[in-house]
Amino acid sequence: MAQVIPFHRKTMSLTVSFTDVDHFAEICCIIARWIAEKGYVDRVERLNHDTVRVHLKLA
């Protein structure tokens, strides 16, 4: 299960918090790969054991 915290315009990022930390790394990789293939992601930053911040490319 994942919770997406609303998009932050100033940092051009969104934050995703996971409740299933057992599969955290695997889920992050799948999400990051899918979004990166679409060309939207600049980088993915791990904030702690269950949260990542996805930095988006400017249009």
Find the domain containing 27 and state its range: 2-56
Name the token pair of 57.
């490319």
pLDDT at 44 over 70: yes
pLDDT at 31 over 60: yes
**pLDDT-based confidence at 21, cuts 50/70/90?**
low
What's the rounded mean pLDDT across residues 11-31?
Answer: 70
How many domains does one find in the chain? 1
What's the rounded mean pLDDT across residues 6-28?
Answer: 67
d(CA 42, CA 21): 24
How much of the chain exceeds pLDDT 90, in percent? 0
**What confidence score (pLDDT) does residue 40 get?**
74
- The answer to whether 55 and 12 have CB atoms below 8 angstroms apart is yes
